[in-house]
Amino acid sequence: MTEAKLIDGKAAAATLQRRVGDGVAGLIGRGGPTPGLATVLVGADPASQVYVRSKARLAAELGMASFDFRLDEAIAEAELLAVIDELNGDERVHGILVQLPLPAHIDTTQILMAIDPAKDVDGFHPFNVGRLGTVAPRAPLDFPVPCTPLGVSMLLQDTLGKLAGCNAVVIGRSNLVGRPVAQLLLRADCTVTIAHSRTRDLAALGRTADILVVAIGRPELVRGDWIKPGATVIDVGINRVPAADGKTRLVGDVAFDEAVKVAGHVTPVPGGVGPMTVACLMFNTLQEARRASGLKFSAAD
Ligand code: NAP
> pLDDT of 136-171, one tens digit each?
999 999 999 999 999 999 999 999 999 999 999 999
State the pLDDT confidence band at 127, using cuts at 50, 70 and 90. Answer: very high
pLDDT for the residue 2: 80
Q: Decide if 212 contacts 169 (C-beta within 8 A).
A: yes
Candidates 197, 177, 171, 167; CA nearest to 253 is 171
pLDDT, residue 301, reads: 78
300 pLDDT higher than 80: no
Which residues are CB-neighbours of 52 under 8 A, at least 6 positions away?
Answer: 39, 41, 68, 97, 99
Domains by residue range for the chain, with CATH: 30-117 (3.40.50.10860), 146-275 (3.40.50.720)
How close is the Cα of 141 to the center of ligand 1, in Å? 24
Distance 81 CA to ligand 1 centre (A): 29
Helical segments of the chain, H only: 9-29, 46-61, 77-89, 108-114, 126-134, 147-160, 178-187, 202-206, 256-262, 274-293
Query: What is the 217 CA–ligand 1 centroid distance (Å)?
Result: 4
Q: According to the model, what pLDDT value does residue 113 have? A: 97
Is the distance from CB of 38 to CB of 298 less than 8 angstroms? no
> Given a cut of 80, is residue 1 above it in pLDDT?
no
Return mean pLDDT, the chain.
Answer: 97
The answer to whether residue 122 is catalytic is: yes
Name the pLDDT band for 73 (thresholds 50, 70, 90).
very high
Mean pLDDT, range 288-296, rounded to an integer: 96
Average pLDDT of 106-128?
Answer: 97
Q: What is the mean pLDDT of residues 66-70?
A: 96
Dist. CA 124–CA 137, nearest whole Å:
21
Residue 130, pLDDT > 90, answer yes
Residues 236-278 pLDDT 10s: 999 999 999 999 999 999 999 999 999 999 999 999 999 999 9
For the question of residue 55 being annotated catalytic, the response is yes
- Predicted confidence band of residue 70 (pLDDT cuts 50, 70, 90): very high
Residue type, 260: V
Q: So what's the pLDDT on residue 118?
A: 98
CA angle in degrees (0–180, nearest 5) for 133-138-141: 60
What is the four-CA torsion angle of 229, 231, 264, 283, rounded to 10 degrees? -170
Give Cβ neighbours of residue 109 (< 8 Å, ≥ 6 apart).
Answer: none
Instruction: For 35-62, write each residue's pLDDT tens digit.
Output: 999 999 999 999 999 999 999 999 999 9
Choice among 8, 17, 120, 122 that is catalytic: 122
Distance 273 CA to ligand 1 centre (A): 14
CB of 279 closer than 6 A to ligand 1? no
**Cβ–Cβ under 8 Å, residues 258 and 223:** yes
Burial of 293 (0-12, 13-18, 19+ CB in 10 A): middle
Instruction: Name which residue sits closest to atom 48 of ligand 1, judged by CA.
Output: 197
pLDDT tens string 10-34: 999 999 999 999 999 999 999 999 9
Q: Amino acid identity, residue 153?
A: S
Say which residues have a Cβ less than 8 Å from residue 179's Cβ, sequence separation at least 6.
173, 194
274 CA closest ligand 1 atom index: 41
Beta-carbon neighbour count of residue 202 at 10 Å? 18
Which residue among the candidates 17, 99, 183, 287 is catalytic per the annotation? 99
Cβ atoms of residues 61 and 24 within 8 Å: no
